[in-house]
């Protein structure tokens, strides 16, 4: 989920997984797979950054677990 602001300043939280495209025409428009559209204050680059931050946060536990299992595996191989 990412937080953005409508043109009137109202905060809205949207599911980043439902974003189909982002346009800058000149306001930033988020098109969702649900056929809804949001016109927001944030720039296209800001929205992209929010999406990337969200994606990193949900995949970080997976990466941490892979790193941990790799370290444990390497440690076990050294012992054997």
The residue ranking higher by pLDDT, 60 or 74, is 60
List of long-range contacts for 9-17, beta carbons under 8 Å, 24+ apart: 9/41, 12/38, 12/40, 14/38, 16/50, 16/51, 16/54, 16/55
pLDDT tens profile 28-40: 999 999 999 999 9
Our CA angle for 24, 22, 57, nearest 5°, is 130
Contacts of 21 (CB under 8 A, 6+ apart): 30, 31
For residue 70, pLDDT beyond 80: no
| pLDDT of amino acid 8 | 97
Distance of CA 3 to the CA centre of its chain: 10
| pLDDT of amino acid 80 | 54
| Lowest pLDDT segment from 9-18, 21-30, 32-41, 70-79 | 70-79
């Amino acid at each position: 989920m990412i937080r953005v602001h409508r043109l009137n300043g109202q905060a809205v939280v949207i599911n980043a997984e439902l974003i189909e495209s982002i346009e800058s025409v000149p306001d930033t428009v988020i098109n969702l797979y649900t056929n809804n559209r949001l016109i927001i204050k944030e720039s296209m680059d800001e929205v992209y950054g929010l999406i990337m931050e969200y994606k990193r946060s949900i995949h970080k536990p997976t990466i941490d677990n892979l790193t941990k299992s790799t370290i444990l595996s390497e440690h076990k191989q050294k012992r054997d």
